[in-house]
């Protein structure tokens, strides 16, 4: 069995389907975990690998970046910033911007005005945005995950981006982990990497080609001419 953890907003479906098709004898178990817990889940051996967002504490972990997400600002549909197709942080510098405790964006300086209290989770922050308390800047996948009809979002061109990565323990790059790495990197099922090598046949099963004995060529019989008549 292979256990894969993943953080909210990340969709491992296409990779897990490929695993099930290629490795039906070894089922895959999915665990959705809070972003802050994903790395510790690997270190505690509760998951073989995890799909998480960088940056993380990389001590003892491998991490392969897979893709980069667009960063968006979530706002009520009637907010002024929704008039533009994309915005910058200066466009909402005078607005309250919520910064949940599970935020994974690597800010050098937080945009906007700070809220009185930080929400515990992104889900809590979404509820406050809907209540008109402030705005929220998150990876686009999280904005879609917490979609509400009364809210919308716009790309933020100068915000830090979120990178999704596959991570596992440095000292435990197992055969199963190698196989999953091959899947997320798009290797085909017939690739020699990401799947176990075919074991060599035992010596007793190896067949040595035998030479076919050459048959002797048939001897040619001398042709006899017709008997000559005596005159």
DSSP β-bridge partners for residue 97: 114, 135
Nearest to 180 by CA among 84, 82, 50, 78: 50
Which pLDDT score is estimated for 168? 97
- Domain 71-160 CATH superfamily: Periplasmic binding protein-like II (3.40.190.10)
The pairing of strands 162-169 and 49-54 is antiparallel
Q: What is the pLDDT along the chain (231 residues), one digit of tens a residue?
A: 899 999 999 999 999 999 999 999 999 999 999 998 999 999 999 999 999 999 888 899 999 999 999 999 999 999 999 999 999 999 999 999 999 999 989 999 999 999 999 999 999 999 999 999 999 999 999 999 999 999 999 999 999 999 999 999 999 999 999 999 999 998 776 654 444 444 444 555 455 555 544 555 555 544 455 555 544
DSSP β-bridge partners for residue 63: 167
Domain spans of the chain, in order of start: 2-68+163-184, 71-160
Q: What is the pTM of this model?
A: 0.77
DSSP β-bridge partners for residue 72: 138, 155
Q: How many residues does the chain have?
A: 231
Nearest to 195 by CA among 25, 13, 65: 25
CA dihedral 10, 14, 19, 20 (to 10 degrees): 110
Quick check: bond before 55 cis, omega within 30? Answer: yes
Whether the domain at 2-68+163-184 and the domain at 71-160 fall into the same CATH topology: yes
* Domain 2-68+163-184: assigned CATH number: 3.40.190.10
In this structure, are residues 71 and 161 in contact, taking their beta carbons and an 8 Å threshold? yes
Which pLDDT score is estimated for 217? 54
Which pLDDT score is estimated for 186? 87
């Amino acid at each position: 069995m292979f256990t894969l953890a993943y953080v909210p907003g990340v969709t491992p479906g296409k990779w897990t389907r490929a695993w099930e098709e290629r490795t039906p004898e070894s089922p895959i178990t999915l665990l959705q975990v809070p972003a802050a817990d994903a790395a510790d889940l690997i270190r505690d051996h509760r998951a073989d690998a995890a799909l998480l967002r960088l940056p993380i504490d990389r001590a003892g972990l491998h991490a392969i970046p897979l893709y980069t997400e667009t960063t968006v600002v979530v706002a009520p549909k009637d907010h002024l910033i929704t008039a533009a197709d994309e915005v910058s942080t200066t466009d909402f510098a005078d607005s309250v911007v919520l910064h949940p405790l599970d935020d994974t964006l690597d800010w050098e300086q937080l945009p906007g005005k700070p809220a009185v209290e930080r929400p515990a989770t992104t889900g809590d922050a979404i509820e406050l945005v809907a209540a008109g308390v402030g705005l929220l800047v998150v990876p686009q996948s999280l904005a879609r995950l917490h979609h509400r009809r009364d809210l919308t979002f716009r790309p933020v061109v100068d915000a830090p981006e979120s990178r999704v990565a596959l991570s596992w323990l440095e000292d435990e790059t197992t055969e199963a982990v190698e196989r999953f790495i091959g899947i997320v990197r798009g290797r085909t099922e017939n690739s020699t990497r990401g799947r176990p090598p075919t074991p060599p046949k035992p010596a007793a099963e190896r067949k040595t080609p035998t030479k076919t004995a050459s048959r002797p060529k048939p001897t040619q019989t001398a042709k006899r001419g017709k008997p000559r008549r005596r005159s």
